[in-house]
Structure 1
């Protein structure tokens, strides 16, 4: 009975985090795939998710401590491994993220672990390997956006722009509930791809994305580059400086 209760509440908390302005992750990255055998392990993971929802201070590191605690309490709790792996990815430790995601997969082959694994490989610029992991995620669940978006990012990394567009279009056709922040991030990748492939659709899309993601330096940067191409140095400088002030500077 306690396991059933823990399973119900864990699903509820994952649903809540998915709705909580997911700045760091897409709406579908966190899903439950195995229940904890230890109630205390469940409580530790629940606490980690609460910390992520609160978004106070160094919340990724604090959440990671709770996910690590869950693993210590229940070494068969596959969700805790990919949750910890996702935190390591966000904190810039892709090697550890890969290790933990692979452990989650060995315990129970699951969508979120493959997404975490693919995202960590993107950080390492292992684009072809990342594509394989995102394909695995899509095979497990083709109705969630993360696998398609990750695959498109990997194709962008190896400059296969038509494949980027195809992955995004398929994702939009197949997936559920691409709204708000997530839709804007997908459109930003599409706009970047249009820009890189000299497609005239880039300008209108990047302007629209910039209006939705005003605190996203990447969108400002690419809009600045487009203005530079159009010969408007004043607007170009404005948006590139905004990008730098937001912490985005690819040079």
Structure 2
């Protein structure tokens, strides 16, 4: 299931033409062109020359910082933004860009401080700076501070869906589910095509056991985003789990796969329907496709293991249960089913080890198996 996860950053890149030669302005313009076109290595070379030609060129340091940030070198980017600020203490963009870099490094307190400088210095873009500071506060779990800043952002810009959405996330941090739902609704009211607002609203409705409204929300999402494969997956899962409507669920899983042939979860979910219909060969094939696409999900290996077990392919099933356990050593159902198959194939000591582990992780029936089959074994 998707998580509430959105940290958007908006920023402007301003250049101040201050006592620069025509050649230097051309150099900066060329570097900006290369940066915008993601030719970062070439932009960096140009900007190295720029700061060498004029060590007090704040704009060149700022742009080089952005280039380094885009290349993943956050420490050096922060150094360049700091140099730009030291040369021009009211350089709002450099504060904003350094704040973004601090945020990406997990230094949220420093990010909050830099966005505060932006707000102190600027009369424009205040919605952006309130929004960015609120995201850093949200990351620090300063929920009320974040709510206050997101509220300030939407007062400046009522059409900012990200701010409503993330304020909803902050309200969830305070366990205010009603307030969160209201803000997710505010987000889609501000921008009816805003996908994340619908997703967060539907996920929260589902978590509250309100399958009916969650389905309505996902369908609204698809009216605005008809090519969004996950929307069909989520509808299919709700139809399968809440309504028991396997036919509609299958239709939606098929649509998700049609839109995204690399969608492992959709193959997995379709496989669970096929398991329910006892079409174990089809199920094993779909679980196999899911594994090929998403090899680090233990559920996919477990599910295929269960299909193979039903097909009496014991050794193959054991390999899949082992793969699931390798990804999650506490995966109790995989431990228990592997134990049963070890018993069936005559590997009693291995079975006893797995029964003990399964019992340790919550499979109570494993206690009877231990007593019956593993003399001298104790948990």
TM-score exceeds 0.5? yes
* Residues 32, 79 of structure 1: 8 Å contact kept: yes
Question: Does residue 43 of the first structure (1) align with residue 20 of the second (2)?
Answer: no
Q: What is the number of residues matched between the two proteins?
A: 210
* Residues 119, 130 of structure 2: 8 Å contact kept: yes
Unaligned runs of 5+ in 1: 1-23, 246-250
Q: Deviations over 1:44-94 (max 9, x none)?
A: 2212333455x4xx4455544444443233222101111221233333322
TM-score, length-normalised on structure 1? Answer: 0.67
Question: Match for residue 188 of structure 1?
Answer: 165
SS in 1 for 2:141: coil
1: CA distance between counterparts of 2:151 and 2:42? 37
Gap change, CA 1:121 and 1:90, over 3 Å in 2? same
2: CA distance between counterparts of 1:84 and 1:151? 23
2: CA distance between counterparts of 1:79 and 1:119? 17
Question: Match for residue 32 of structure 1?
Answer: 15
TM-score, length-normalised on structure 2? Answer: 0.47
1: CA distance between counterparts of 2:95 and 2:123? 13
* Residues 185, 201 of structure 2: 8 Å contact kept: no
Match of 1:228 among 206, 210, 215: 206
- Displacement after TM superposition at 1:101 (Å): 0.4
Question: Match for residue 114 of structure 1?
Answer: 95
Question: Does residue 104 of the first structure (1) align with residue 81 of the second (2)?
Answer: no
* Residues 37, 74 of structure 1: 8 Å contact kept: no
Please say which structure displays the higher CA radius of gyration.
Answer: 2
Unaligned runs of 5+ in 2: 1-7, 220-228, 235-255, 257-261, 264-296, 298-379
If asked which structure has higher relative contact order (CA below 8 Å, sep 6+), I would say 1
SS in 2 for 1:156: helix
Question: Does residue 72 of the first structure (1) align with residue 52 of the second (2)?
Answer: yes
SS in 2 for 1:187: helix
Gap change, CA 1:210 and 1:223, over 3 Å in 2? farther
Gap change, CA 1:25 and 1:132, over 3 Å in 2? closer
Question: Does residue 131 of the first structure (1) align with residue 109 of the second (2)?
Answer: no
